[in-house]
Structure 1
Amino acid sequence: MSKVVVLKTDPKTVLNDYQTLMEKSGFEKLVPKNKEILLKLNLSWSLYYPACSTEPWQLEGVVKYLTEKGYSPDKIFPVENKTVVTDVWKGAKGNKWLSILKKYGLKFYPLTEEKWKKYKPKYKLSAIPKLYPEGHLIPEIMKGKSVIHLPTIKVHGHTQMTGSLKNAFGGLITERRHHSHKMIHEVLVDLLKIQKEIHPVIFTVMDGTVCGDGAGPRTMEPKIKDYILASDDPVAIDAVSAKMMGFDPLKIKFIKMANDQKLGVGNFKNIKIIGEDISKVNFRFKTKKSLVIFFDQVLRTKYPVLESLLFHTPLFKMCIFASSFYHDYFWYPVVGKKKIKK
């Protein structure tokens, strides 16, 4: 039976609570100290916005635990990729990751600066070969290392909610991954199969101190919930997160697919919860779609001619500019900053 540790926390004790979370998860038994570890950060916005990207206290809690337990900084590799609308260095600085990594003697490894090579999986994949017939590239740095995913509890306009499985999306597909949106659920399951081949251990530490409701993954309503989660089953932790948000995990396509293919446990009834009793927890979150995600989905599914014109020609640069301008120069200063102050 898969296990997920769920703890309550507060700002005064959050770093110590992350230590407890890792202890209760049995991390030391899973990953020997002489092995290399990836810290897969989550960057959804170059600007800081609550619940949007890996929280600074989430990162520090995990790094503090690892270094104090004797895991060498030389064997810990914090990584993240860019998207067409995010800048990985700007995001690492804006989300306070760089100062934390420096404090503990860790180097940041942007995947934009790593070597990517074609990878031929042993598993049979359903979507990636169709979307990338020329071959699928993954970063060389990802192979052979255990991974700790660092997502937050939040909704997502493309996948209803996002967590551990979606976090691999940013690490194992190039910045062209927006072309995967029309088969996003199948892609996430394909990537889980690849993860199982290249990572000895897939571990997730999820922050729910501030959770994201509404039009995720960026223009959300931050909601203070003060939960933190951990598990070595990425499907189970996503299922628990979905349940806490108020969703039926098995009605979320990628969770059900992974559960049905026995890649993890997506049925909440078959997951052992350690720590808090969350049987009655229901945040009553509702997934909405931002204007950018709405038009992305409409164009990709209903107007294939326009999709080819806008997403596969130089005109795509106009779409990128429009998205960046709307999010960074309108929504964030006009709407986002007010929500942060609340």
Structure 2
Amino acid sequence: MTRPKVAVLKTRPETVIQDIEKLMKLAEFEKFLDKNSVTILKDNISWHFPYLSSNTTPWQLEGTIIALKNAGYDKLVAVHNNTVVTDPFKGCKLNKLTPIYKKYGVEERYNFLESDIKWVRYEPKHKMLALHKIYPNGIHIPEFFIGKNILHLPTMKTHIYTTTTGAMKNAFGGLLNTRRHYTHTWIHETLVDLLAIQKEIHTGIFAVMDGTIAGNGPGPRTMIPVETNFILASADQVAIDAVSAKMMGFDPMSIKYIRLAHEAKLGTGDPREIEIVGEDISNVNLKFFVGDNAASRVGDILWFGPLKGIQYIFFRTPLVYIFVFASYFYHDFVWWPLKGKKIQENLRKTSQWGKLFENYPMD
């Protein structure tokens, strides 16, 4: 049996664009993405503020687009999603992704705008672990996604509810609508269900992960940025998340969504069964941790703790807007001005990647 391949490279600002193309070739992206199909670029904007370690980086996006175009993939479309606490228009601008889409002529669509994308009911062929229970009236997905390639652009980082987040979690925003907070109690099972659906609807799946500045701590927003200089790529979404998790210092098979996906044969989560090409990472252990913040402590109580049984009252009634506002206020008006903004300002002065980010245009 052929082992899945995950490519890992060390990079630097001066060569990162070329290194991403080399990385994708090492992971044999042309074997997995149909050139006759439209390729959807699914970036990752966890926070609209330009917080390096939280979002897709401009060099990650630019390097991927160049590699695709050089290989003859001309039908590229970016699809953005909305969240209750993140503004995608603001996020694309502040994270300097919008000028790159314009520069390379990539169409942008928004899955929350009816004028852009229609949502349709979908009956998965694969046995669902959670989505059929969470959405008893039917699972709905963006019609535009069906019959197209998807290329995910996640970041190497930790997550308060899933330990790590990467390629599998990146489908969360694209395939679920704004009521995706319904799934948080069953978040691991949800990610596995979404991968199963992706395998049914897409003509190809691939991921290019940025770890040049990785996120450590209570992610996906309030993290400690760590300069690691790594980039990863793979067609196996489970394998790339497993390798990323191992590099961060976690046991991949102890992370529920990775283990469940491995057991369901949707990918390979055991690092011993994965071929890693490019960099020797056998001794890499970043010793990352997760921890908590104010938002996660409330979530732990309501989604996983003693109030789990009555979460319907909090999240499927107008009471949800209280929690939405609280999260928005905490992240944007407390943590960002008091901590995040200062961290990023220092990063842009002291880090080679922070300086590269400054050199990218915003308009």
Q: TM-score range by the shorter chain?
A: over 0.9
Using structure 1 for the length normalisation, give the TM-score. Answer: 0.97
Letter in 2 for 1:312: R
Comparing 92-101 with 240-249, greater Cα deviation is found at 92-101
Work out the CA distance in 2 between the residues paired with 1:82 and 1:289: 24
- Match for 2:240 among 237, 241, 248? 237
- Match for 2:259 among 241, 256, 261? 256
RMSD, matched Cα: 1.2
Look up the SS of the partner of 2:276 in the other structure: strand
Asked if 1:177 corresponds to 2:177, the answer is no
- Match for 1:193 among 193, 196, 202? 196
Overall identity of the aligned pairs, in %: 50
Give the superposition deviation at 1:306. 5.6
1:83 corresponding residue in structure 2:
83
Letter in 2 for 1:334: L
Q: Structure 1's 27 and 300: CA in aligned 2 closer, same or farther, altered over 3 A?
A: closer
Q: Structure 1's 327 and 6: CA in aligned 2 closer, same or farther, altered over 3 A?
A: same
Residue-by-residue CA offset, 1:128-166 (whole Å, 9 max, x unaligned): 011000111100111111111100000000100001111
1:132 corresponding residue in structure 2:
135
Comparing 292-301 with 24-33, greater Cα deviation is found at 24-33
Q: Is the 8 A contact 2:181 2:315 kept in 1?
A: no
How many residue pairs end up in the alignment? 340
Q: Is the 8 A contact 1:128 1:136 kept in 2?
A: yes
- Match for 2:332 among 328, 331, 338? 328
2:94 corresponding residue in structure 1:
94
Work out the CA distance in 1 between the residues paired with 2:310 and 2:123: 32
Asked if 1:57 corresponds to 2:59, the answer is yes
Letter in 2 for 1:122: K
Comparing 311-320 with 39-48, greater Cα deviation is found at 311-320
2:44 corresponding residue in structure 1:
42
Q: Is the 8 A contact 2:34 2:203 kept in 1?
A: no
Letter in 1 for 2:142: P
2:6 corresponding residue in structure 1:
4
Look up the SS of the partner of 2:179 in the other structure: helix
Asked if 1:291 corresponds to 2:266, the answer is no
- Match for 1:208 among 211, 215, 226? 211
Residue-by-residue CA offset, 1:234-279 (whole Å, 9 max, x unaligned): 0100000000000000000011111111111111011111010000
Q: Is the 8 A contact 2:32 2:206 kept in 1?
A: no
Look up the SS of the partner of 1:215 in the other structure: coil
Q: Is the 8 A contact 1:3 1:271 kept in 2?
A: yes
Letter in 1 for 2:144: I
Work out the CA distance in 2 between the residues paired with 1:179 and 1:201: 28
- Match for 1:22 among 21, 24, 28? 24
Q: Is the 8 A contact 1:50 1:210 kept in 2?
A: yes
- Match for 1:311 among 291, 312, 315? 315
